[in-house]
Structure 1
């Protein structure tokens, strides 16, 4: 039976994201903390956005993995402060996205605190094709399979691909 907090963290770090299964929640930066309180393993996660439909699956997968590892009492908490940012994706996570044919995000836009400004135009950032590396790509749709991704097309190799949007 697993009994140390470091082991609990190691187990939690293996749980994959339900929408991007090539990434663990740790790779994605969603796994924020693993602690112990009165014999209960407490896991804190921050979803990629507050309405993320994968949040329930993340919670269930964490509880299942930790219970299978021998932790009987597990609680998963959601922290919305500070808001998740694509800057929290690890270098390994960015590499795994590219290897899966999904363009990783660039640096998140820097904003002052307060309301997020609404823009009606797609961002002007250059996104490299994860297949051929060309920067000559265009956004086809601001939304893809999930709200966190956009659909793009490469002008060089003509392949469509997804891009994790900078947040």
Structure 2
């Protein structure tokens, strides 16, 4: 089998985030480089969504195992120390998937006042902006907890990170 970048990216579509299983590593913008070397070896560079993310090693192993299985290639996965993840790297389709999963997606972050962005979060269940921040800390470090005054749902918000 000839290994191509397209085939590698197709295999990467199968590597899901262990904390949000509706998103893959491409949806999240975690892949920064894919290279095919001699003897069809593959190098994949990735960045974690959060520097202290406890799932980084699991994700690296899942990337390696999935691409090796799909393409029969030797795969190395490295953390890209030159790039830094921010929530603007997420694909628009990822934000829709998050919303359908019941998590408010991050807003675009352009250096605006972080507290203002965090306070104005639409409910992923009813789209109301009549919500309030219950806690800046959710089930993971990258999420906050909000309450919707319209539909009564408590929901998580994937924090915008710059």
Same fold (TM over 0.5): yes
3-state DSSP of counterpart to 1:44: strand
**CA 1:23–1:2: 2 relative to 1, 3 Å:** farther
Q: 2:159 is matched with which residue?
A: 165
* Structure 1 CA distance for aligned equivalents of residues 51 and 41 of structure 2: 25
Q: Secondary structure of the residue that 2:132 maps to in structure 1?
A: strand
Separation of aligned partners in 1, 2:13 and 2:2 = 15
Contact 2:104 2:155 in 1 (8 A): yes
User: Structure 1 residue 124: deviation in Å?
Assistant: 2.2
- Paired residue secondary structure (1:145): coil
Please tell me the root mean square deviation across aligned C-alpha atoms, in Å.
Answer: 1.8
CA gap of 1:2–1:11, structure 2 versus 1, over 3 A, is farther
More helix per residue: 2
Residues 48 and 56, structure 2, Cα contact 8 Å, conserved in 1: yes
- Partner residue in 1 for 2:125: 131
Aligned residues: 158
In the TM superposition, structure 1's runs of 4+ consecutive aligned residues that sit over 4 Å from their partners are none
State yes or no: 1:101 paired with 2:102. yes
State how far apart, in whole Å, the 2-side matches of 1:24 and 1:32 are.
Answer: 14
Q: Which sections of structure 2, spanning at least 5 residues, go unmatched?
A: none
Unpaired runs of at least 5, structure 1: 112-118
